Amino acid sequence: MKFIVSSSVLLKNLQLISGVINPSNTLPILDDFLFELDNKTLTITASDLETTMSVSVPLDMAEDPGQVTIPAKLLLDTLKTFADVPITMTIDKTTMGIEISAGDGKFKLTGHKSDEFPQKPTIDDATTIKVNSEILKSAFLKTLFATGNDELRPVMSGVFCELSPDDLTFVATDAHKLVRYKRGDAKADTVSSFILPKKPLNQLKNVLPDDAEVVINYDQTNAFFEYENVNLICRLIDGKYPNYDAVIPKDNPNKLTIERSPFINAIRRVALYANQSTNQVRLKISGKELTLSAEDIDYANEAKERLTCSYEGEDMEIGFNSKFLLDMLNNIDAQNIKIEMSAPNRAGILLPVDPDNEHEDILMLVMPVMLNQ
């Protein structure tokens, strides 16, 4: 088994899929990349059992097809040290010895037999949908931060996808915050839904190209993403997603409109003085004035800052976790934002005012923190 490939092309493709590999694996074979040589195409695969990602790499020369697994870290670290040079990889199929030749350098390492590497899942009776990569990137970016980490509620650790002939909806919640992200410029032929796990979405969010068509095939168990020379298969999260629509308050008479950027900066400053366990920031709204305040009684720290705003409704005071607020505000693309509220003990709704993208419909919900009087 032998092939010649550009070191930078190989490195770029390995880095695309290397995020799938866990830092600590129960199976040693999962620390390896699977190399499959067939005619003039090299397919490289990484897996953690739940997620499998493959990339096909063009070669300058190939002979004697075969399969081998190669230790990922050592190979990546070696390739990072090369300039863009052609490298020759020769694999002895009997001993699994691997020799890498680059210029005057020769590097030898030992691979493993490919039969221990997990088989790629197959998708039966799949449903197919095509989505632009920009839409997926945006959807994952704006929802992943709101997913939960509770092992007892695995359904909330992923992103819920609802497909319909009208739009695509992506939802994430951890019971303290919730994001509902809809796209009217992406549609499916039939109504269906599934829950995608966090790890493969983080991986896709980082590696999806700009403006490419992504083909998604899915069944009851797996979802299969395919674009350009890359494909990713992940196991869906099994279970019923909570009825997120029921927790979104519909009647919110108190509406605060404020410029996003100064609001973010003020929260950042005031939050430095908040209690480190609650991160509570108090919003006191009266007329056209919003007062942000925070205090940490244990250290006698306190901060207060006034901002001008537009407000309709009764004067009110409400407390929020500043980290949750900042997460949400940083993921809204609009100059001004609106916060709709009904009472200090009910969830607040964050919405963009005149969003940058007309096809986007984004709603964020944050639960209040009980105020200490």
Helix (H) or strand (E) holding 22: none
Examine the domain organization and report whether 51 and 78 are in the same domain: yes
What whole-number distance in Å separates Cα of residue 155 and Cα of residue 157?
A: 5
What whole-number distance in Å separates Cα of residue 230 and Cα of residue 56?
A: 7
Q: Does residue 201 contact residue 214 with C-beta atoms inside 8 Å? A: no
Examine the domain organization and report whether 351 and 257 are in the same domain: yes
Beta bridge partners, 160, equal 171, 195
CA–centroid distance for 363 within its chain: 18
Position 85 scores a pLDDT of: 94
Beta bridge partners, 192, equal 163
Query: Residue 5's closest CA among 85, 110, 93, 105?
Result: 85
Q: Is residue 372 part of a domain?
A: no
Examine the domain organization and report whether 238 and 259 are in the same domain: no
Position 370 scores a pLDDT of: 84
Position 372 scores a pLDDT of: 66
What whole-number distance in Å separates Cα of residue 244 and Cα of residue 195?
A: 13
Q: Is residue 356 part of a domain?
A: yes
* Maximal C-alpha separation, the chain: 80
Number of domains in the chain: 3
- Residue ending a domain, among 245, 280, 304, is 245
Angle formed by the axes of helices 322-329 and 260-271, nearest 10°: 150
Examine the domain organization and report whether 23 and 110 are in the same domain: yes
Q: Is residue 56 part of a domain?
A: yes
Q: Which two tokens stand for residue 253?
A: 């008479």
What whole-number distance in Å separates Cα of residue 355 and Cα of residue 335?
A: 8
Query: Residue 350's closest CA among 325, 315, 313, 323?
Result: 325
Examine the domain organization and report whether 91 and 179 are in the same domain: no
Examine the domain organization and report whether 18 and 76 are in the same domain: yes
Angle formed by the axes of helices 72-80 and 7-18, nearest 10°: 140
Other beta carbons within 10 angstroms of residue 12's beta carbon come to 13
Digit-by-digit pLDDT tens for the chain (373 residues) are: 999 999 999 999 999 999 999 998 889 999 999 999 998 889 999 999 999 999 999 999 999 999 999 999 999 999 999 999 999 999 999 999 999 999 899 999 999 999 999 999 988 889 999 999 999 999 999 999 999 998 889 999 999 999 999 999 999 999 999 999 999 999 999 999 999 999 999 999 999 999 999 999 999 999 999 999 999 999 999 999 999 999 999 999 999 999 999 999 999 999 999 999 999 999 999 999 999 999 998 899 999 999 999 999 999 999 999 999 999 999 999 999 999 999 999 999 999 998 888 899 999 999 999 876 5
Examine the domain organization and report whether 85 and 14 are in the same domain: yes
**372: DSSP letter:** P
Long-range Cβ contacts of 328-335 (<8 Å, 24+ apart): 328/177, 328/179, 328/364, 328/366, 329/260, 329/263, 329/264, 329/267, 330/264, 331/141, 331/142, 331/145, 331/179, 331/364, 332/260, 332/362, 332/364, 333/357, 333/360, 334/260, 335/259, 335/260, 335/261
Examine the domain organization and report whether 210 and 284 are in the same domain: no
Q: Please name the residue that has the structure tokens 């997913």.
A: 147
Position 171 scores a pLDDT of: 98
- Residue ending a domain, among 216, 245, 274, is 245
Name the residue range of residue 258's domain.
249-366
What whole-number distance in Å separates Cα of residue 303 and Cα of residue 296?
A: 9
**In this structure, what CATH number is given to the domain that contains residue 286?**
3.10.150.10
Beta bridge partners, 53, equal 46, 232
As a dihedral over the C-alpha atoms of residue 11, residue 13, residue 17, residue 23, rounded to 10 degrees, the angle is 0
What whole-number distance in Å separates Cα of residue 290 and Cα of residue 258?
A: 9
What whole-number distance in Å separates Cα of residue 244 and Cα of residue 179?
A: 9
Enter the pTM of the model. Answer: 0.93
- Residue ending a domain, among 87, 116, 145, is 116
Q: Is residue 237 part of a domain?
A: yes
Q: Is residue 36 part of a domain?
A: yes
Examine the domain organization and report whether 140 and 241 are in the same domain: yes
H runs (alpha helix) in 217-300: 244-247, 260-271
Helix (H, G, I), strand (E, B) or coil at 288: coil
Examine the domain organization and report whether 38 and 102 are in the same domain: yes
Q: Is residue 99 part of a domain?
A: yes
